[in-house]
């Protein structure tokens, strides 16, 4: 049966009460029940446009039941966990204090200045590896140098940065 050969309004009138009772027994919530009944009819219309449905009421009941069970499964999967106020306050705050944020920003600024002071080729190799995550082989291919040259640049850059940052 396709969407043109059955009366959707008549089908809605005759079946929506049964579908509501079925879904309401399963989910226990009126708003969710209404949503799922409407979803069942939307699925019926989509299925009817794509092919034949021999028994629309049976199709609706099966679809409604499956939608309700999927809804319950989703609720269980995303269920809230009850936590008392005391337990909630016992959870440590992992956010840095404003003072530590300032310290971290100053340290970051020092590191970035030290990286910027590296010779251009060494800085490029270091940034590609440490900031952009490229492998030695990828950097070598990109820059047209050997893998050992890349490793050498990284080792020297790390030593330079250790001297510049570690000495302050």
Q: What CATH number did the domain enclosing 68 receive?
A: 1.10.1740
Residue 98 lies in a domain: no
The domain boundary, picked from 22, 56, 77, lies at 77
Helix (H, G, I), strand (E, B) or coil at 27: helix
pLDDT < 70 stretches in the chain: 1-6, 167-168
pTM greater than the 0.85 cutoff = no
Residues 15/23, Cβ–Cβ less than 8 Å: no
Residue 129 lies in a domain: yes
Q: What is the CATH number of the domain that holds 156?
A: 1.10.10.10
Residue 96 lies in a domain: no
DSSP code of 81? Answer: P
Supply the pLDDT for residue 149.
Answer: 95
| Counted domains in the chain | 2
54: nearest Cα among 121, 2, 120: 2
Supply the pLDDT for residue 2.
Answer: 46
**Residue-number span of the structural domain to which 134 is assigned:** 115-161
166 class by beta-carbon count within 10 Å (0-12 exposed, 13-18 middle, 19+ buried): exposed
Sequence-separated (6 or more) residues with CB below 8 Å from residue 136: 129, 147, 150, 151, 154
């Amino acid at each position: 049966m396709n969407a043109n050969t059955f009366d959707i309004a008549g089908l809605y009138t005759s079946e929506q009460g049964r579908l509501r009772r079925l879904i309401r027994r399963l989910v226990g919530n009126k708003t969710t029940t209404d949503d799922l009944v409407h979803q069942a009819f939307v699925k019926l219309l989509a299925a009817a446009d794509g092919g034949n449905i021999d028994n629309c009421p049976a199709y609706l009941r099966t679809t409604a039941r499956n939608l309700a069970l999927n809804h319950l499964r989703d609720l269980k999967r995303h269920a809230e966990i009850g936590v008392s106020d005391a337990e909630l306050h016992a959870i440590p705050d992992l956010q840095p204090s404003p003072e530590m944020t300032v310290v971290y920003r100053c340290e970051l600024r020092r590191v970035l200045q030290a990286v910027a002071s590296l010779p251009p080729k060494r800085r490029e190799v270091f940034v590609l590896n440490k900031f952009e995550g490229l492998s030695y082989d990828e950097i070598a291919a990109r820059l047209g140098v050997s893998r050992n040259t890349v490793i050498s640049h990284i080792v020297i850059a790390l030593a330079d940065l250790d001297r510049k940052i570690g000495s302050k």
